[in-house]
Chains A and B, each alone.
Chain A
Amino acid sequence: MSDKMLVQLESVWKTYQMDGVRVEAVRGVTMAIASREFVSIMGASGSGKSSLLHLIGCLDSPTRGSVAYEGVQVSEMAESQLTDIRCRKVGFIFQAFNLLPTLDVKNNVMLPMRLAGLSKAGSQERAEQLLDRVGLKQRSNHLPKQLSGGERQRVAIARGLANKPPLLLADEPTGNLDSSSGS
């Protein structure tokens, strides 16, 4: 596989111990994702798609095998480097949205930009643009609990795009959207 790939996985395994039971969530996955490439991972519920996305997004480390981001082995990176990748280079749209319940919609979208060191005014402007794109500009001052499932998911999409990441990982991103929002 080429070093120019954005992400490369080589015989990656992920095993969990859940209540004393050994669960093999990911079994020997080898794959590569190039820049601007669109990859779909399909599988039944519980087949390990989310676990695989966590590994690709430097959120988790493999039990066996190797993950490389832009040619650099993730296992050789310091914790601060992984945090930096998650902040600037990976946009994550979680299956369960994972919005911060105490922050309003706009601040949820602004958060990754503020963590990346963008100014308040700059992140506010981009958050408004993103919320406009996902059709939620009018709801920017609402709390996540005041939104429907689909609206929360759109906020999560806006947050995932906030730092213009080269890698956008979406865990069932349209599962809660209706046909018009999903397109």
Chain B
Amino acid sequence: MKLEAAQRLSGRSGSVSAVLLTAKDINMVTDLSEQLSREFPEFDVITQNDLLKNAEKMMEMPNRFMGMISLTVLMVAVLVVMNVMMIAVTERTKEIGILRAIGAKKRTVLEMIVLEASILSLIGGVLGALMVVPAAYIMDWTRVLSVQETAKVSLLVVAVAVLASIYPAYRATRIDPIEALRNE
């Protein structure tokens, strides 16, 4: 298309919005852009590198978005596991009290709660993986949801559950056996 036709089409007859310059040597690009910026401060001088960086930033956006969603899901998982284990500890106050009364160490109680959370999350992780892998094949998402990625996420779920169960487990160790047995 001729310049005049493009100007007419965009309603900007007689004006130019961008000029594309091609350097003879790629090594001259930086010097040339600096020189142009100095001589024509009223213009924006953008090199191909700048365009590439912008494109990379644009491509990073969905990744960051997905990362934020993953982080949110992870935080929700932590809160859910913590809540479930807190309820489990509260419901089993008497049981923990009996254990402490007949000689269970605080460490034993702590390990018991963390182990329970680990086993439950491992079962959840394995069940989740068993559902995700076939679904990924059916939906043709194997590039994103590969077996390795699913295994990694399952292990992450266990790690998150272990971390999230530490506080409820600590609370379980603070149960006074006498109080627990009195509140029958």
Q: B99 — which chain A residues lie within 8 A by C-beta? A: 100, 111, 115
> Is the C-beta of A77 less than 8 angstroms from some C-beta in chain B?
no
| Interface positions of A (Cβ within 8 A of B) | 54, 59-60, 79-80, 83-84, 86-88, 92, 94, 96, 98-102, 111-112, 115-116, 159
For residue B183, give the distance in angstroms from its CB to the closest CB of chain A.
11
Q: Can you pick out 8 interface pairs between chain A and chain B where the beta carbons lie within 8 Å of each other? A: A59-B101, A86-B103, A94-B181, A96-B184, A98-B98, A98-B181, A101-B95, A102-B95
Which residue of chain A has the shortest Cβ distance to B104 in the bound complex? A115
Docked complex Cα distance between A116 and B99 (Å): 12
Docked complex Cα distance between A84 and B178 (Å): 16
Q: A80 — which chain B residues lie within 8 A by C-beta? A: 105-106
Q: Are A92 and B102 in contact (CB under 8 A)?
A: yes
Count chain B residues whose beta carbon lies closer than 8 angstroms to a beta carbon of A. 16
Q: How many residue pairs at the A-B interface have CB separations less than 8 Å?
A: 49
Q: Are B103 and A116 in contact (CB under 8 A)?
A: yes
Tell me which of A60, A86, A99, A115 contacts B108 (CB under 8 A): A115
Q: Are B103 and A54 in contact (CB under 8 A)?
A: no
Most A CB atoms within 10 A — which of B94, B99, B103, B108? B103
Q: Are A84 and B103 in contact (CB under 8 A)?
A: yes
| Interface positions of B (Cβ within 8 A of A) | 94-95, 98-106, 108, 177-178, 181, 184
Q: A86 — which chain B residues lie within 8 A by C-beta? A: 101-103
Docked complex Cα distance between A29 and B111 (Å): 38
For residue A102, give the distance in angstroms from its CB to the closest CB of chain B.
7
For residue A156, give the distance in angstroms from its CB to the closest CB of chain B.
10
Give 6 new A-B contacts, CB below 8 A, not counting A88-B103, A100-B99, A112-B103.
A79-B106, A80-B106, A92-B101, A98-B94, A99-B98, A100-B95
Q: Are B102 and A115 in contact (CB under 8 A)?
A: yes
Q: B181 — which chain A residues lie within 8 A by C-beta? A: 94, 96, 98
Tell me which of B94, B103, B106, B178 contacts A115 (CB under 8 A): B103
Q: Beyond A98-B98, A100-B98, A115-B108, is A83–B103 a contact (Cβ under 8 Å)?
A: yes
For residue B176, give the distance in angstroms from its CB to the closest CB of chain A.
9
Q: B178 — which chain A residues lie within 8 A by C-beta? A: 54, 59-60
For residue B97, give the distance in angstroms from its CB to the closest CB of chain A.
8
Most A CB atoms within 10 A — which of B94, B101, B102, B106? B102
For residue A38, give the distance in angstroms from its CB to the closest CB of chain B.
22
Docked complex Cα distance between A84 and B102 (Å): 9
Q: A98 — which chain B residues lie within 8 A by C-beta? A: 94, 98, 101, 181
